[in-house]
Amino acid sequence: MTMKLAENIYENVDQIPTRFGYGDGLLKLGEMDERVVVLGADLSSSLRVDLFRDAYPDRFIQTGIAEQDMMCLAAGLSLAGKIPFVSTYGVFCTGRAWDQLRTTVAYGNLNVKVGSGHGGISVGADGATHQALEDIAITRVIPGVTVIVPCDYHETVKATIAAAQIEGPVVIRFGREKVPVITTPETPFQVGKAEIYREGEDVTVVACGVMVYEALIAAELLAQEGISAQVINCHTVKPIDKETLIKAAQKTKAVVTAEEHQVMGGFGSAVAEVLSQNVPVPMRFVGVQDTFGQSGDPDVLMKAYGLKAENIVQAAKEVIKIKRGG
């Protein structure tokens, strides 16, 4: 590993939902900047924005289940000099209110932040209607929108605080279930800068969100077979860190991407857009393969949809075989 990560990430790692990081990040922001305003759509406790509501009730607005109106209200607040954080599930704030995000917010480059919760298949029992699997694709395509997918609790806190420092629309994607805490408060985080969490020579695994942990586990499994895997946490999907990705591809000449999202148009596609134009190398995409999710236990769903370390291991072996002329 090239930087300070949590201890025992391959053994007894703590687990905390990333949505807790969003709530705690907002609470810190409330103290840091009085311009910060939070808007909720009847999901305050689920997204942990009730912490901000209770601490700063005069800076919290409950819009009810009216996500499109909430996005427009946030746009107006930004024009009044506030820094509004729109907070609801990803299928609603990036799906139902996509037109408002695109035209009302992004077209004018308004300073609106979007807390996009319940990202990915691991939402679990809520099922396909609430599992945001297309949100990275439909937000990164909007001009001027920054898209961040933090890997754990600490990184979500940092991403939330950093979003307030960026002028313009920002989407922060986080999940519902507990996920391994692999970073620390001291682990470097900079919007637009990917971080190398493990060096390797044979293959590069580029991941975002909870798949960073799965990538690290996969690298350990590969090491047991004599395969050296580099692991990169590319938390900022847009603007993506082209320099780090290009250098990684030049080094290992084989790349696997991993995301808790549809493989078409998502994070893997963003990486491929960079590499195909600069360093074309064999690639494989670990993610949801053009299908809707379903209700179930989060870990069972992750396995059923091929989002575990063993799937990354298989993909890594495939690209290495292609690289070597197999």
Show which residues are catalytic: 67
Tell me the CA distances in angstroms from 276 to 228, 242, 285, one per residue in order: 23, 12, 14
Please tell me whether residue 62 adopts helix, strand or coil conformation. Answer: strand
Within 115-266, residue ranges assigned H as helices are 135-140, 153-165, 211-223, 242-252
Please tell me whether residue 303 adopts helix, strand or coil conformation. Answer: helix
* Helix (H) and strand (E) counts in the chain: 12, 14
**Strand 178-180 relative to strand 15-17: parallel, antiparallel, unpaired?**
antiparallel
DSSP H or E run through 117: strand 113-117
- Find tokens 């960026």 and name the residue: 166
Q: Which one, of 244, 156, 154, lies nearest residue 206 by Cα?
A: 244
Q: Which one, of 157, 158, 153, 159, lies nearest residue 176 by Cα?
A: 153
